[in-house]
Amino acid sequence: MRTTHTGKYNIQIGEDISGELNKLISVEKYSSIFILVDQNTKRHCLKKLSIDDHQLTVIQIKSGEKNKNIRTCEKIWNELSRKNADRRSLLINLGGGVITDIGGFAASCYKRGIDFINVPTTLLAQVDASVGGKTGIDLAGFKNQIGAFAFPKAVFINPDFLKTLNKREMLSGFAEVAKHGLIADKNYWNAIRNTKEIITPHLSDLLLSSIEIKNKIVSADPYENGLRKTLNFGHTIGHAIESASLKTKKPLLHGEAIAIGMICEAYISRKCCGLSGEELNEITSFITSRFHPKAIKYPAKKLIALMRQDKKNTNSEINFTLLSSIGKAEVNHTCTEELIEEAISYFNDSISLD
Ligand X SMILES: NC(=O)c1ccc[n+]([C@@H]2O[C@H](COP(=O)([O-])OP(=O)(O)OC[C@H]3O[C@@H](n4cnc5c(N)ncnc54)[C@H](O)[C@@H]3O)[C@@H](O)[C@H]2O)c1
Helix (H) or strand (E) holding 302: helix 300-307
Q: Could you say which residues in the range 76-105 bind ligand X, by CB under 6 A?
A: 95-99, 101
Q: Known catalytic residue: 239?
A: yes
Rounded Cα–Cα distance for residues 115 and 256 (Å): 32
- Which of 47, 112, 196, 297 does the annotation list as catalytic? 112
Rounded Cα–Cα distance for residues 238 and 265 (Å): 9
Contact status, residue 13 vs residue 157, Cβ threshold 8 Å: yes
Contact status, residue 275 vs residue 324, Cβ threshold 8 Å: yes
Phi then psi for residue 140, to 5 deg, are: 50, 40
Rounded Cα–Cα distance for residues 195 and 239 (Å): 26
Query: With CB under 6 A as the contact rule, which of the stretches 15-23, 26-34, 163-171, 284-292 interacts with ligand X?
Result: 163-171
CA atoms within 13 A on the CB side of 251: 16
Rounded Cα–Cα distance for residues 115 and 101 (Å): 14
Q: Known catalytic residue: 254?
A: yes
Of the two residues 37 and 280, which places its CB atom closer to ligand X in the complex?
Answer: 37
211 near ligand X (CB under 6 A): no
Q: Known catalytic residue: 71?
A: no
Which residue's CB comes closest to ligand X? 97
238 near ligand X (CB under 6 A): no
Determine which residue in the list 12, 34, 38, 335 makes contact with ligand X, applying CB under 6 A.
38
State the distance between the two ends of the chain, measured CA to CA, in whole angstroms.
42
Dihedral, CA of residue 170, residue 176, residue 180 and residue 181, to nearest 10: 60
161 near ligand X (CB under 6 A): yes
Contact status, residue 48 vs residue 119, Cβ threshold 8 Å: no
Query: With CB under 6 A as the contact rule, which of the stretches 157-165, 186-194, 266-274, 285-293 interacts with ligand X?
Result: 157-165
- Which of 134, 179, 312, 333 does the annotation list as catalytic? 134
Of the two residues 30 and 151, which places its CB atom closer to ligand X in the complex?
Answer: 151
Query: With CB under 6 A as the contact rule, which of the stretches 28-36, 107-115, 127-135, 280-288 interacts with ligand X?
Result: 127-135
Determine which residue in the list 14, 19, 64, 327 makes contact with ligand X, applying CB under 6 A.
64
Of the two residues 172 and 209, which places its CB atom closer to ligand X in the complex?
Answer: 172
Q: How far is CA 192 from CA 117, 188, 209, in A?
A: 29, 6, 11
- Which of 254, 270, 290, 312 does the annotation list as catalytic? 254
Of the two residues 134 and 290, which places its CB atom closer to ligand X in the complex?
Answer: 134
Q: How far is CA 117 from CA 165, 275, 307, in A?
A: 21, 39, 32
CA atoms within 13 A on the CB side of 5: 1
Contact status, residue 120 vs residue 129, Cβ threshold 8 Å: yes
- Which of 40, 118, 232, 319 does the annotation list as catalytic? 232
Phi then psi for residue 315, to 5 deg, are: 50, 40
Q: Known catalytic residue: 65?
A: no
> Measured over all CA atoms, what is the biggest interatomic distance in the chain, rounded to whole angstroms?
60
Of the two residues 100 and 209, which places its CB atom closer to ligand X in the complex?
Answer: 100
25 near ligand X (CB under 6 A): no
Of the two residues 212 and 279, which places its CB atom closer to ligand X in the complex?
Answer: 212
68 near ligand X (CB under 6 A): yes
Taking CB under 6 A as the rule, which mask of x and - marks residues 165-184 in contact with ligand X?
x---x--x------------
Of the two residues 151 and 161, which places its CB atom closer to ligand X in the complex?
Answer: 161
Return residues touching ligand X (CB under 6 A).
Answer: 38, 40-41, 44-45, 63-65, 68, 95-99, 101, 121-122, 124-125, 128-129, 132, 134, 143-144, 161, 164-165, 169, 172, 253-254
Mind telling me the catalytic residues? 112, 134, 176, 214, 224, 228, 232, 235, 239, 254
